[in-house]
């Protein structure tokens, strides 16, 4: 059986195990269904291997904003030996789990109106995947631009990505801004992704363990 990320004990319960909270959580996620991030649709998974992200364990918070609403979801991410596992929680209850090894993608929803795992994983790849791997994975006609910032690190004067923009046939679809630190590290601190085409903003706050 594949090993799930190891969130703290308070995240170990499925929402189904607590009926009252299951109802409240389902109602809240029903409100979220107005946001296209959380509406399951026929979206293709970007063919980026988790191996390019490196082995790591990360605690995350997803702040999802759209016109008329905002919600917060916690996450536990683990990448090990080329396999990515992600568990999403809300109100201390498991909402969604997904597993991806670069070839096979599976997801399990524990409540109605749970987030779309494909959309979330695509956003994560657009934020964290190396430039060349991401560009090669984008659909035909899509292009990636990176904005560089210069600064001083332990290695001396260096340039790193400060932001990304993704275009479809010349029309901007995605804006990504790495906010908190230099060099840009998507696994530590705050990253903001704006999906201009679908009308939502994802603020990802990460802490690598």
How many residues in the chain? 209
Q: Are 109 and 16 in contact (CB under 8 A)?
A: no
Confidence at residue 157, expressed as pLDDT on a 0 to 100 scale: 59
Place of tokens 């210069």: 150
Confidence at residue 42, expressed as pLDDT on a 0 to 100 scale: 60
Confidence at residue 14, expressed as pLDDT on a 0 to 100 scale: 47
Question: What does the domain layout of the chain look like in residue ranges?
Answer: 9-208
Q: Residue 99's beta-bridge partner residues?
A: 85, 106
- Return d(Cα 65, Cα 50) in angstroms, integer: 26
Confidence at residue 28, expressed as pLDDT on a 0 to 100 scale: 47
Strand ranges, E, within 16-127 = 56-66, 69-80, 83-90, 93-100, 105-109
Tokens found for residue 67? 């016109």
Q: Burial, 104: exposed, middle or buried (Cβ in 10 Å; 0-12, 13-18, 19+)?
A: exposed
- Mention every residue, 6+ apart, whose C-beta is less than 8 A from residue 41: 116, 119
Tens-digit pLDDT profile for the chain (209 aa)? 445 444 443 334 444 445 444 444 444 444 444 455 555 556 799 999 999 999 999 999 999 998 878 888 999 999 999 999 999 998 888 889 999 999 999 999 888 777 889 999 999 999 999 999 999 999 999 999 998 776 555 565 555 668 999 999 999 999 999 876 555 688 989 999 999 999 999 999 999 99
Q: Residue 158's beta-bridge partner residues?
A: 151
Q: Full-prediction pTM beyond 0.95?
A: no
Strand ranges, E, within the chain = 56-66, 69-80, 83-90, 93-100, 105-109, 142-153, 156-168, 171-178, 188-195, 200-208
Q: Are 85 and 3 in contact (CB under 8 A)?
A: yes
Confidence at residue 185, expressed as pLDDT on a 0 to 100 scale: 80
* CATH code assigned to 9-208: 2.50.20
- Return d(Cα 112, Cα 110) in angstroms, integer: 7
- Return d(Cα 166, Cα 155) in angstroms, integer: 29
């Amino acid at each position: 059986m594949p090993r799930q990320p190891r969130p703290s004990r308070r995240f170990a319960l499925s929402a189904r195990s607590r009926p009252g909270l299951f109802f409240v959580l389902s109602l809240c996620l029903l409100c979220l269904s107005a946001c296209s991030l959380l509406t399951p649709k026929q979206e293709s998974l970007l063919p980026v291997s988790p191996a390019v992200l490196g082995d790591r364990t990360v605690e995350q918070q997803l702040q999802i904003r759209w016109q008329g609403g905002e919600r917060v979801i916690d996450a536990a991410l683990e990448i090990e030996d080329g396999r990515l596992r992600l568990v999403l929680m809300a109100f201390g209850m498991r909402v969604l789990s997904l597993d991806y090894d670069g070839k096979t993608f599976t997801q399990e929803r524990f409540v109605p109106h749970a987030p779309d795992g494909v959309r979330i994983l695509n956003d994560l790849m657009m934020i964290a995947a190396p430039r060349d791997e991401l560009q090669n994975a984008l659909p035909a006609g899509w292009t990636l631009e990176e904005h560089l910032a210069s600064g001083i690190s332990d290695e001396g004067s260096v340039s790193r990505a400060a932001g990304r923009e993704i275009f479809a046939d010349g029309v901007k679809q995605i804006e990504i801004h790495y906010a908190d630190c230099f060099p840009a590290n998507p696994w530590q601190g705050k990253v903001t992704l704006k999906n201009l085409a679908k009308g939502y903003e994802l603020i990802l706050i990460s802490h690598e363990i």
